[in-house]
């Protein structure tokens, strides 16, 4: 029996009788794939997805619906022993949690994983293979074996719903995109200067007042003086039930959801609702424009900490995630320097300056979060003035802060803007692109980023993984969201999953398998890499 061992993760097989060759492509690139020319497995009715344990049933039901898009019928889903003629899905606890295997023969398909999460990844791999092999009349999959697991444990995508809101159904669609790419973390940016998007029972004015801005800037915020004159944000927030619905949907797809509550900066929406939490105590409004603003939470006011703890108590009660993201970025010190209450705090706590005051603020919040059994993530500015060794740092301005944090021993998630900001243009022909904030991050740049650059073997252990961010100042619809993240998300996902086996030219070739699924799902994706190749 002839066998082919995968070295490029793209395999061509000549079909029996000289028919057209099949190309087997998977993104992210598997650790190992071996394809043989023995009998193929036909995905035809009747077909059952047979799960060995009931905890795999929810994932199998999702997968059955995904297969229906490809083969035009929905397989049955049953719990029972493996059989010939079926897709059998089982657990092997000796494998790592996200590790899985796929074995295809003429008689059966077996998916085996270390956990339900790993099994779901196996299903997404088989989904891509089925899309590769789909014909007009039937879908047959060649005999093959895949062994696969991710390089980095953290592979995340952020979505900003403050500048432009996304409905629950749209957030679910975003999660569908993440799960297809084996992205395991959704970072949900819920509060900012331009809108507070999470209902907090203890503080109702946050959604009565903090969700709505009077108007929105037109054009680039740094240069434009023009506004649209239209209020934005009424009713645009998530209730506790909305959040639970999203969390259930994410859990069914084995995606962890990390909420972000911004502090002490990016606070104008909260200050508009509760002016007493700012240093000036009055004159605040939800921002109609983008940028960084001097008005922030007053770090000398104990009522601010009471407020933040009340908010976080409700957030922690809703979200089961290990991490709570508490922001920490872009906090000007202008008001603190002028505020007698903040200056009193600096003196009483023996702090050197306003940077140490921010460190005091973040460490105090971290102690509270830790007391509730959770851990914090903060943007890289939490390094200023000193940071707790238990805090996880999200490095965004450049890789350098992440490198510094790793050398200090903090855990790090790498999100450098020049490689990982998907609100940036993805083509230099900006006249033909949707209006964007600026920058230039093509697929090749996302793919080429090295999160281990300048780190020795010991320091590399601090890097949890990678993430990409979608800020939505200029992204006001779901089709626009999809266009900005696809196919760049695939490049980020492969960097996180297959870091030690990357090959950009091969990646572009393999993207045809994902493109088929993008088309089946109706995703609005950028075509640049497909046109060039």
Q: Which residues are identified as catalytic? A: 330
Instruction: Round to whole Å and give the CA distance between 474 and 481.
Output: 10
In contact, 92 and 112? CB cutoff 8 Å? yes
Instruction: Round to whole Å and give the CA distance between 133 and 360.
Output: 58
In contact, 205 and 310? CB cutoff 8 Å? no
Report the run of H or E that residue 24 belongs to, with start and end.
strand 22-25
Residue with tokens 């697991």: 149
Half-sphere exposure of 381 (CA within 13 A, CB side): 19
Instruction: Round to whole Å and give the CA distance between 397 and 432.
Output: 27
Residue with tokens 């996304």: 166
In contact, 179 and 255? CB cutoff 8 Å? yes
| Number of residues that this document lists for the chain | 533
Instruction: Round to whole Å and give the CA distance between 121 and 103.
Output: 14
Q: Say which residues have a Cβ less than 8 Å from residue 463's Cβ, sequence separation at least 6.
A: 152, 402, 406, 412, 413, 414, 451, 452, 455
Torsion sign (Cα): 105, 106, 111, 112: negative
Half-sphere exposure of 472 (CA within 13 A, CB side): 27
In contact, 472 and 423? CB cutoff 8 Å? yes
Instruction: Round to whole Å and give the CA distance between 55 and 288.
Output: 47
| Token pair of 298 as six digits | 């007053």
| Token pair of 105 as six digits | 């023969």
In contact, 124 and 101? CB cutoff 8 Å? no
- Residue 350, sorted as left (phi over 0), alpha (psi -120 to 50) or beta, turns out to be left
SS3 374: coil
**DSSP annotation string for 137-199:** S-EEE--EEEEE--S-SEEEEEEE-SSS---HHHHHHHHHHHHHTT--EEEEE-EETTEE-B-
Report the run of H or E that residue 375 belongs to, with start and end.
strand 375-379
Instruction: Round to whole Å and give the CA distance between 297 and 263.
Output: 7
Closest CA relative to residue 232, chosen from 253, 250, 254, 217: 217
């Amino acid at each position: 029996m002839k066998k082919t061992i995968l070295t490029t993760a793209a395999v061509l097989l000549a079909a029996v009788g000289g028919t057209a060759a099949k190309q087997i492509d998977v993104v992210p690139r598997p650790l190992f794939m071996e394809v043989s020319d023995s009998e193929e497995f036909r995905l035809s009715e009747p077909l059952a997805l047979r799960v060995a344990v009931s905890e795999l049933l929810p994932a199998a039901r999702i997968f059955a619906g995904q297969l229906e898009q490809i083969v035009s019928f929905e397989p049955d889903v049953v719990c029972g022993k493996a059989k010939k003629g079926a897709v059998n899905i089982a657990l092997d606890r000796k494998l790592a949690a996200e590790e899985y295997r796929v074995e295809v023969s003429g008689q059966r398909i077996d998916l085996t994983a270390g956990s339900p999460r790993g099994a779901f990844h196996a299903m997404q791999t088989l989904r891509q293979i089925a899309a590769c092999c789909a014909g007009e009349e039937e879908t047959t999959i060649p005999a093959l074996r895949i062994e696969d697991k991710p390089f980095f444990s953290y592979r995340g995508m952020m979505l900003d719903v403050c500048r432009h809101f996304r409905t629950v159904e749209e957030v679910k669609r975003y999660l569908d995109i993440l799960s297809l790419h084996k992205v395991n973390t959704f970072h949900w940016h819920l509060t900012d200067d331009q809108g507070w998007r999470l209902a907090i029972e203890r503080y109702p004015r946050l959604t009565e007042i903090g969700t709505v801005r009077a108007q929105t800037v037109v054009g680039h915020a740094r240069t434009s003086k023009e506004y649209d004159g239209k209020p934005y944000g009424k009713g645009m927030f998530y209730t506790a039930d909305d959040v639970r619905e999203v969390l259930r949907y994410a859990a069914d797809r084995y995606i962890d959801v990390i909420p972000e509550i911004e502090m002490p900066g990016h606070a104008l929406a909260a200050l508009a609702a509760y002016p007493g939490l700012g240093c000036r105590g009055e004159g605040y409004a939800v921002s109609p424009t983008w940028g960084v603003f001097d008005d922030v939470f007053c770090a000398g006011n104990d009522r601010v900490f009471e407020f933040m703890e009340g908010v976080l108590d409700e957030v922690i009660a809703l979200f089961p995630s290990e991490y709570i993201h508490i922001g920490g970025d872009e906090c000007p010190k202008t008001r603190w320097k002028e505020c007698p209450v903040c200056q009193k705090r600096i003196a009483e706590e023996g702090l050197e300056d306003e940077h140490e005051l921010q460190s005091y603020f973040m460490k105090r919040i971290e102690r509270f979060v830790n007391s509730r059994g959770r851990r914090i993530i903060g943007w890289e500015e939490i390094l200023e003035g000193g940071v707790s060794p238990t805090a996880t740092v999200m490095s965004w301005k450049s890789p350098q802060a992440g490198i510094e944090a790793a050398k200090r021993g903090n855990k790090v998630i790498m999100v450098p803007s020049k490689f990982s900001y998907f609100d940036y243009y993805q083509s230099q022909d900006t006249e033909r692109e949707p209006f964007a904030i600026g920058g230039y991050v093509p697929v090749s740049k996302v793919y080429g980023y090295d999160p281990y650059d300048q780190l020795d073997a010991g320091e590399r252990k601090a890097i949890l993984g990678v993430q990409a961010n979608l800020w939505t100042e200029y992204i006001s619809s779901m089709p626009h969201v999809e266009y900005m993240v696809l196919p760049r998300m695939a490049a980020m996902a492969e960097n996180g999953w297959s870091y030690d086996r990357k090959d950009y030219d091969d990646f572009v070739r393999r993207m045809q398998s994902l493109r088929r699924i993008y088309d089946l799902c109706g995703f609005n994706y950028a075509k640049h890499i497909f046109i060039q190749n």
